[in-house]
Amino acid sequence: MRGHRSGRPLVPAYLSTSGVARPSRNSLERLSVLTSTTGPVFGDLPAAQHALLQSLEGGSLTVVEAAALLRLPVSAIRVLAAALIDQGLVTARPPVPPAAQPDHDLLKRVADGLRALKL
């Protein structure tokens, strides 16, 4: 069986953070963008932090995206990311506030235009 993982996960989420769900900092939101500040680190990081750091290689991810990628709940990613930020391995950028987001109608029209171009 390949690809899509179905069924009950073998490894529960609490194992990734050793049972901790309270992050060391409360600044992280669901849409905070995480960026790795270093190259690959082969230090003595806990496995899940290592996995998160690896998933950030070559790009940035929001907290929710990282959660989906690593198949962990958002609460666990927050703990892991907070620990990595404390060690200076990752930086977090607050999410773009809703007021600064482009107009939905405009985006829709652009998308429509793009589709029209493609056809």
10: three-class secondary structure by DSSP: coil
Residue 110 touches another protein, criterion: CB under 8 A: no
**70 touches 48 (CB < 8 A):** yes
Give the integer Cα–Cα distance in Å for 88 and 36.
9
Give the integer Cα–Cα distance in Å for 77 and 30.
10
Residue 23 touches another protein, criterion: CB under 8 A: yes
Query: Could you tell me the smallest distance in angstroms from the CB atom of residue 108 to another protein?
Result: 18
Query: Could you tell me the smallest distance in angstroms from the CB atom of residue 105 to another protein?
Result: 22
Residue 98 touches another protein, criterion: CB under 8 A: no
Which single residue is written with the structure tokens 């959660």?
67
Query: Could you tell me the smallest distance in angstroms from the CB atom of residue 5 to another protein?
Result: 6
Site string for another protein, 31-60 (x = CB under 8 A): -----------x----xx-xxx-xx-xxx-
